[in-house]
């Protein structure tokens, strides 16, 4: 039996992991006699692989519950999916409680993807829904449920057209970024439909989640802060609510219509990342995720009978700037805390397709690749890092490159006339970015010595020849993304990947209902956003700009509308 009021997340985590380790030890000691082994189903194999980080579900005694609340709709997490679900429920008269473990709403991801809104059709041609459906499926090598993707395709438009008046009422202006559907990159063409919607000014208070909180407050609702999830209440394939650790003690919330997990991914949990996606630390130096995303909601969903996507799916951007000599991977503090080594979350210029070399001074990749593709290529190079090098003509080069998505952040400031050095400083690059009046001096600042320095100089000379001839005969980079390195001052910086979030999660159907390993619906339990699955696998399709947050918010709204009877 646990204490009345002192049950903490740390205590649960430690207890659960110890219990999980004990179970593994017991399993290792039993059944030692040789026996025929059946070929495991992928889900079963995944369950075995993650048992040590999953641990055991906490046990809560009735005598430890200090209060019980009842609502129709319980929303766990006040982030992007959760706040859209709450505002939707408020509009539709659905009784709800939003339970949030921290003391404020979660971080807002400002860019929303949706197809064929009335706003996007003003600036671009209609998006071919079936082509986009199958392009997303191709990115994921088919490890998706196309019906789940179609929920976003069908309902994202309605989401944006509902949300926009709320944002405009608070002084925000909707901007749709038109895209060229056939986007040249990586020596080929990627499908890049016009779906990105953002409310400007971006990343300035108030942001979307703030505005949605105000919206529900105007209707008499409040977020229940410092409600830290302990467990879901479940019996068989039915969930009836959840138990939370609060400042007052353990509180049970009963949900008569449904419970929504909107708790985010697990990027802030190094143990889960290393177990599920060991390739992530092999190519990442920087943390760009919310510390709320610790994977506990995903674990709670598994304890309740859910099943996780078999493959991982990280969101990694090529902007984790570090000092010379720093490797990719976690570092461990004296207290055992693990974290990535970078001191700054992202340096945006890293996404520009300038020359990139490894520690041997060798060019090893077409630099015009999607963010994570380049990081993956670097993961098998020494230290997992690469060095980006460019010269005093960088502004002209950046304007010609025409990068898309949030890589165009750098481009926008160049278009506004901001001096390059000022931009690097504003973006937090100085300290990692090196600058010199000669390539010899720059090489020394970047840590190149001896043979590696000689190779770097030879690489730059050869690269300049490729630019001169107008054809990259080494890796096939587009001619307009080739740039000479001849004009001082010269710049260089070491990079790894920056981990933003994880987007592999709990398996769901097209109504966001969680399902078991045999695809049976868990009654009363839903998942939306990064804690949910069936939409991505292996990667984030970065040229389908803003599709991740678009699906997150659409899924949250769908669940609220479903429970309120607002869907056909």
Average pLDDT, the chain: 92
Phi then psi for residue 210, to 5 deg, are -65, -45
pLDDT tens-digit profile of 478-535? 999 999 999 999 999 999 999 999 999 999 999 999 999 999 999 999 999 999 999 9
pLDDT of the residue at 567: 96
Is 369 in the same domain as 447?
Answer: yes
Is 337 in the same domain as 461?
Answer: yes
pLDDT of the residue at 568: 80
Q: Which helix (H) or strand (E) holds 124?
A: none
Report how far residue 34's alpha carbon sits from residue 272's, in angstroms, rounded to the nearest whole number.
31
Is the residue at 289 inside a domain?
A: yes
Is the residue at 444 inside a domain?
A: yes
Is 276 in the same domain as 337?
Answer: no
Mean pLDDT of 265-283: 97
Mean pLDDT of 147-154: 99
Q: How many CB atoms lie within 10 A of CB 20?
A: 17
Evaluate if residue 237 carries a pLDDT over 50: yes
pLDDT of the residue at 29: 25
- Burial of 445 per CB tally in 10 Å (0-12, 13-18, 19+): middle
Is 276 in the same domain as 181?
Answer: yes
Domain's final residue, options 458, 484, 499: 499
Is the residue at 44 inside a domain?
A: no
Is the residue at 147 inside a domain?
A: yes
Mean pLDDT of 76-88: 99
Evaluate if residue 44 carries a pLDDT over 70: no
In the numeric block, the tokens 């307009």 are attached to 480
From 45, 48, 62, 74, select the one nearest 4 (Cα to Cα): 62
Evaluate if residue 379 carries a pLDDT over 70: yes
Evaluate if residue 32 carries a pLDDT over 60: no
- 287 Rama class: left (phi>0) / alpha (psi -120 to 50) / beta: beta
CATH of the domain at 335: 3.90.700.10
Q: Residues 284, 316: contact at Cβ < 8 Å?
A: yes
In whole angstroms, how far apart are CA 468 and each of 397, 481, 483, 484? 14, 12, 9, 8
**Residues of the chain above pLDDT 70, percent:** 91
Is 337 in the same domain as 475?
Answer: yes
**Residues of the chain above pLDDT 90, percent:** 90
Is the residue at 398 inside a domain?
A: yes
Question: What are the structure tokens assigned to 432, written together?
Answer: 């990692």
Evaluate if residue 166 carries a pLDDT over 90: yes
Is the residue at 164 inside a domain?
A: yes
pLDDT of the residue at 345: 87
CATH of the domain at 112: 3.50.50.60
Mean pLDDT of 21-50: 36
Q: Residues 479, 366: contact at Cβ < 8 Å?
A: no
Domain's final residue, options 499, 524, 541: 499
Is 339 in the same domain as 470?
Answer: yes
Report how far residue 344's alpha carbon sits from residue 432's, in angstroms, rounded to the nearest whole number.
9
Is the residue at 52 inside a domain?
A: no
Is 249 in the same domain as 339?
Answer: no
Mean pLDDT of 350-358: 99
Is the residue at 20 inside a domain?
A: no
Mean pLDDT of 238-243: 99
Report how far residue 215's alpha carbon sits from residue 184's, in angstroms, rounded to the nearest whole number.
42
Is 354 in the same domain as 367?
Answer: yes
- 303 pLDDT band (50/70/90 cuts)? very high
Report how far residue 296's alpha carbon sits from residue 176's, in angstroms, rounded to the nearest whole number.
35
Is 347 in the same domain as 245?
Answer: no
Indicate the range of 31-35, 354-358, 441-445, 461-465 predicted with least confidence: 31-35
Which residues span the domain enclosing 356?
314-499
Q: Rg for the chain (alpha carbons), in Å?
A: 25
Count how many domains the chain has. Answer: 2
Report how far residue 499's alpha carbon sits from residue 281's, in angstroms, rounded to the nearest whole number.
9
Is 131 in the same domain as 266?
Answer: yes
- 33 pLDDT band (50/70/90 cuts)? very low
Is 318 in the same domain as 449?
Answer: yes
Evaluate if residue 25 carries a pLDDT over 50: no
* Alpha helices, DSSP H, located in 363-449: 371-378, 394-401, 408-415, 420-426, 439-445
Domain's final residue, options 499, 518, 550: 499
pLDDT of the residue at 50: 52
Report how far residue 102's alpha carbon sits from residue 269's, in angstroms, rounded to the nearest whole number.
17
From 407, 360, 405, 409, select the one nearest 386 (Cα to Cα): 360
pLDDT of the residue at 41: 41
pLDDT of the residue at 242: 99
Evaluate if residue 553 carries a pLDDT over 50: yes
Q: How far is CA 286 from the centre of its chain?
A: 13
Report how far residue 501's alpha carbon sits from residue 50's, in angstroms, rounded to the nearest whole number.
19
Question: What are the structure tokens assigned to 427, written together?
Answer: 């973006």
Task: Answer positive or negative: Cα dihedral of 239, 244, 250, 253.
Answer: negative
Evaluate if residue 4 carries a pLDDT over 90: no
In the numeric block, the tokens 């669940």 are attached to 559
Evaluate if residue 288 carries a pLDDT over 70: yes
Report how far residue 340's alpha carbon sits from residue 346's, in angstroms, rounded to the nearest whole number.
12
Cα-based angle 15, 21, 26 (whole degrees, multiple of 5): 125
Question: What are the structure tokens assigned to 449, written together?
Answer: 């010595």
- 17 pLDDT band (50/70/90 cuts)? very low
Q: Residues 316, 345: contact at Cβ < 8 Å?
A: no
Question: What are the structure tokens assigned to 54, written together?
Answer: 């999953």
Is 508 in the same domain as 401?
Answer: no
pLDDT of the residue at 19: 33
- Burial of 380 per CB tally in 10 Å (0-12, 13-18, 19+): exposed
Mean pLDDT of 458-478: 99
């Amino acid at each position: 039996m646990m204490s009345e009021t002192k049950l903490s997340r740390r205590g649960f985590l430690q207890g659960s992991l110890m219990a999980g380790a004990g179970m593994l030890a017991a399993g290792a000691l039993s059944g030692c006699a040789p026996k025929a082994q059946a070929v495991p189903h992928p889900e079963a194999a995944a369950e075995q692989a993650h048992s040590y980080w999953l641990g055991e579900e906490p046990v809560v005694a009735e005598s430890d519950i200090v209060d019980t609340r009842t609502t129709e709709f319980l929303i766990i997490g006040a982030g992007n999916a959760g706040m859209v679900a709450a505002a939707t429920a408020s509009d539709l008269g659905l009784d709800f409680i939003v339970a949030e473990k921290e003391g404020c709403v979660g971080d807002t991801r400002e860019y929303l993807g949706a197809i064929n809104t009335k706003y996007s059709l003003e600036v671009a041609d209609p998006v071919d829904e079936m082509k986009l459906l199958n392009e997303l499926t191709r990115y994921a090598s088919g490890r998706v449920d196309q019906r789940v993707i179609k929920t976003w395709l069908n309902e994202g438009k309605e989401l944006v057209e509902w949300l926009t008046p709320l944002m405009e009422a608070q002084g925000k202006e909707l901007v749709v970024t038109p895209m060229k559907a056939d986007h040249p990159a990586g020596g080929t063409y990627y499908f890049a439909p016009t779906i990105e919607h953002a409310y400007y000014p971006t990343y300035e208070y108030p942001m979307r989640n703030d505005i949605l909180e105000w919206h529900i407050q105007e209707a008499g609702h409040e977020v229940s802060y410092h409600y830290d999830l302990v467990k879901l209440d479940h019996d068989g394939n039915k969930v009836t609510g959840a138990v939370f650790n609060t400042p007052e003690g353990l509180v049970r919330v009963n949900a008569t219509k449904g419970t929504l997990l909107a708790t985010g991914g697990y990027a802030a949990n190094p143990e889960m990342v290393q177990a599920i996606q060991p390739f992530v630390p092999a190519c990442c130096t920087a943390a760009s995720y919310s510390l709320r995303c610790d994977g506990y909601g995903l674990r709670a969903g598994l304890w309740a009978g859910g099943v996780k996507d078999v493959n991982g799916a990280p969101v990694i951007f090529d902007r984790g700037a570090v000092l010379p000599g720093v490797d990719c991977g976690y570092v461990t503090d004296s207290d055992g805390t693990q974290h990535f080594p970078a001191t700054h979350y992202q340096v945006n210029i890293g996404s520009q397709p300038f020359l990139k070399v490894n520690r041997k001074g060798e060019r090893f990749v077409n630099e015009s690749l999607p963010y994570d593709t380049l990081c993956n290529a670097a993961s098998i190079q020494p230290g997992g890092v690469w060095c980006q090098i460019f010269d005093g003509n960088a502004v002209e080069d950046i304007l010609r490159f025409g990068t898309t998505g949030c890589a165009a952040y750098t481009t926008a400031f160049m278009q506004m006339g901001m001096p390059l050095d000022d931009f690097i400083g504003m973006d937090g690059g100085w300290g990692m970015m090196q600058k010199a009046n000669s390539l010899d001096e720059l090489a020394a600042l970047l840590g190149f010595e001896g043979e590696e320095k000689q190779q770097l100089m030879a690489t730059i000379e050869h690269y300049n020849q490729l630019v001169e001839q107008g054809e990259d005969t080494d890796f096939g980079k587009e001619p307009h993304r080739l740039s000479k390195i001849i004009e001082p001052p010269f710049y260089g910086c070491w990079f790894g990947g920056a981990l933003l979030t994880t987007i592999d999660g709990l398996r769901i159907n097209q109504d966001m209902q969680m399902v078991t390993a045999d695809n049976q619906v868990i009654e009363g339990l839903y998942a939306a956003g990064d804690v949910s699955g069936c939409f991505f696998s292996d990667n984030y399709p970065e040229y389908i700009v803003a599709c991740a947050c678009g699906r997150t918010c659409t899924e949250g709204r769908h669940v609220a509308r479903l429970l309120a009877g607002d869907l056909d």
